[in-house]
Amino acid sequence: MFCRNQTARATIARGSALEMEIRRGKFRQSVFMESPQDSDIQKKIDYEIRMREGACKLLAACSQRDQALEASKSLLTCNARIMAYMSELQRMKEAQVMQRVARRSSDAGPMDDRSPCKAKVAISDLRIPLMWKDTEYFKNKGELHRCAVFCLLQLGGEIFDTDMVMVDRTLTDICFDNKIVFNEASPGFELRVELYSCCSEEDYSAGNTPRKLASKLSTSLGRSSGKKMRGTLEPGACSPTSNGGGAAILLPVPSVPGPKYHLLAHTTLNLSHVQDSFRTHDLTISGNEECSFWLPLYGGVCCRLAAQPRCMTQQMMSGCLRVKLGGEPQGWTNVYGVLKGTNLFCYHQKEDMEANVEPVLTIGINKETRIRAAEKDPHSKAQNICISNQYGGEEVTHTLAADSREDTQLWMEAFWQQFYDMSQWRQCCDDLMKIELPSPRKPAIVTPKQGALYHEMVIDTSDDIGTVTDILARRIEEFELRAQLGSPPHWMSLFDEDPPRSPHNHQHLPPHSPSPCHRTPGLLSSNASLTSDSDSPVSVSPCFRQAWSPDTSSSSGRFRPRTLSLDAKLSTLRGRGYGGFRCNCQPPTAGSGSPRPTQTALFCSSSTSSSSSSEGSNSQESDLGFSRPSGARRSLRNLRAKLDPRNWLQSQV
């Protein structure tokens, strides 16, 4: 026997008796007669339970943060749906009980209660503005606090989730591009919008925060971030506050390891919020600044909520009519009438309507229209229908007649229903609101960049290893392949030369032909150089430069030597984290004459840029005798300090 109290339980523990009962479809054996809707819901519940199991397994198995966040989101959505279906089932059972009770007591209530038509409700272009403190927003240093957020939207029994968006202080708004359409909404609908967020630290995915990547790589988990991590893993110190803001749709998740989402804000929209344009609605925010999942919300959500009642999009009634046209009392014209939206279209014949030919007559049916049945026409058996509209100051009346009394009745009924629907759906019936069907999502196309690493001059941030590492990580696959193919380029032979010799030669080069020499180095300060340098891990640039001749300068300008084992070097990068050297730097300070210090100076100056590449060269250049500072950051800072005032940088544009 299905016990009503059980739906009041917040959790449905897996493997519990109730769940087993659900699985076995115990509801079907309930006292009440099974209706087709029951089995529908049953199927949906079963499906969601399977989805939930899958999500749990995925969550346990996945290693990447992104996957874990997505899986956690699906889990949350599945739970919400299960809850909704369960309560729907419960309601249906109750309704059945009431009906049976009513039948038994032969209490025939008024059966001609009109019910308004259903509508399609669409919500799209959700945008939630954020309100970062200006100090936060312009901060360049410090951890980039990131949160993964998504929205859960529920209307009636339908629950949809939006895509997940990563939010950090560089964003001013959280934008969800999803268009969500609910199909069966009644005028009294309540669309509940909930914003869930989950704190996301230690984001190792390439391309997200290149700035902080290096710092994360080289330093261990700080105390505060460690605390946050722990906070997200346990049930959550903030959950009491997060659930305080009204009943959340979701069930508390059975303890599954992985990132957990918390309710950050919610709001409920109904018919009064429906409009054909964007509107801002207030959000009720739960949680406070102390919570890990906190985001400074401005307090509103902007979206477009549109509704298309069926009466506006579908033909509510159609049939043959006779219309009195013109002034003659006997001038009846046969037409095929179609009642749709705010108009009664009269076509010559049915085929015209299907062929989209212009109707002969269009009679407006709106809130101002008055329809009444006229006195019986002595010449016909049925009553006439008079439709009056106000056009400007004039009242125009059209007289229609159906073929039989039943038809007349049907038409009148249709008109009454239309009026009722319009009164229920109010502003939605003034004009048809456009609803775009959500198009199937296209996978993001990632175009691999052609050309040398140098060409990726898109880094706008200041010198930072992280950026280089980032670019490199993305380029690894391409280079791996290329490096393995073919013989090493001819210039590789240069690297066999004796390094110490080069600076001498370098210094002797006439000042005017710095062109070839300065080419590679030129990029030092600009971020472009970062990439190019990393690309050419062979730091034996003095040697390399030597081989350049002025006439090849322009062509070799874009030419960057590639290492044969870039990937190997890169793997060591993360451990080291600091730039090796690529002595791009220009004519070293004239003061230093000896090759040794020069090299070191050169080395040092390029350190900032050529992070990883230098890594590789380190092994080759061990004889250069540079010291490898232990802390990556410290060395960077030192080197940068040395770099700035001493060299005259050049950039290639």
Q: Are 323 and 336 contacting, i.e. CB atoms less than 8 angstroms apart? A: no
**Contact partners, residue 16, CB within 8 Å, separation at least 6:** none
Decide if residue 650 touches another protein (CB under 8 A).
yes
When asked if residue 362 is in the footprint of another protein (CB under 8 A), the reply is no
Query: Does 455 contact another protein by CB under 8 A?
Result: yes
Measuring CA to CA, which residue among 593, 585, 597 is closest to residue 645? 585
Nearer to another protein among residue 416 and residue 648 (C-beta): 648
CA-nearest of 356, 360, 357 to 346 is 360
Q: Which residue from 73, 519, 562, 582 is in contact with another protein, where contact means CB under 8 A?
A: 519
Cβ proximity to another protein: between 520 and 600 the closer is: 520
For every residue of 475-526, which 3-state class applies, written as one string?
Answer: HHHHHHHHHHCCCCCHHHHHHHCCCCHHHHHHHHCCCCCHHHHHHHHHCCCC
Angle between helix 527-535 and 514-522 (nearest 10):
100
CB of 522 to another protein, least distance (A): 5
Select from 514, 542, 580, 616 the one that contacts another protein (CB under 8 A).
Answer: 514
Which C-beta is closer to another protein: that of 393 or that of 511? 511
CB of 449 to another protein, least distance (A): 6
In 10 A of CB 590, how many CB atoms?
Answer: 7
**Whole-number Cα distances in Å, 58 to 68, 75, 78, 377:** 8, 10, 14, 74
Rg (the chain; Cα; Å): 36
Should residue 554 be labelled a site residue for another protein when binding is judged by CB under 8 A?
A: yes
CB contact set of 484 (below 8 Å; sequence gap of 6+) = 564
Cβ closest to another protein, residue 505 vs residue 515: 515
The yes or no reply on residue 457 touching another protein (CB under 8 A) is yes
Q: How far is CA 473 from the centre of its chain?
A: 24
450 binds another protein (CB under 8 A): yes
Looking at residue 289, the DSSP 8-state letter turns out to be: T
Examine residue 512 and tell whether it contacts another protein (CB under 8 A): yes
Nearer to another protein by C-beta: 439 or 555? Answer: 555
Q: How far is the CB of 538 from another protein (least distance, A)?
A: 22
Contacts of another protein in 588-647 (CB under 8 A): 590, 644-647
Nearer Cβ to another protein, position 526 or 563?
A: 526
582 binds another protein (CB under 8 A): no
Burial per residue of 279-317, b for 16 or more beta-carbon CB atoms within 10 angstroms, e otherwise: eeeebebbbeeebbbbbebbebbbbbbbbbbbbbeeebb
Q: Which region, judged by CB under 8 A, interacts with another protein, from 16-24, 45-53, 67-75, 507-515?
A: 507-515
Residue 653 interacts with another protein (CB under 8 A)?
yes
In whole angstroms, what separates CA 318 from the centre of its chain?
A: 43
* Calpha distance 72→55 (Å, rounded): 7
Choose which of 129, 364, 557, 597 interacts with another protein (CB under 8 A): 557
Q: Minimum Å distance from CB 642 to another protein?
A: 13
The one among 558, 628, 634, 637 contacting another protein by CB under 8 A: 558
The answer for 350, left when phi > 0, alpha when psi is -120 to 50, beta otherwise, is alpha
Q: How far is the CB of 640 from another protein (least distance, A)?
A: 12
Using the minimum distance from each CB to another protein, give the nearer residue, 116 or 514: 514
Query: For another protein, which stretch binds (CB under 8 A), given 20-28, 98-106, 583-591, 625-633?
Result: 583-591
> Which two three-digit tokens encode residue 543?
């040697």
CB of 562 to another protein, least distance (A): 15
Size of interface with another protein, in residues (CB under 8 A):
35
Instruction: Give the shortest CB-509-to-another protein separation in angstroms.
Output: 12
Give the binding site for another protein (CB under 8 A).
449-452, 455, 457-458, 460, 511-512, 514-515, 518-519, 522, 525-526, 551, 553-554, 557-558, 586-587, 590, 644-653
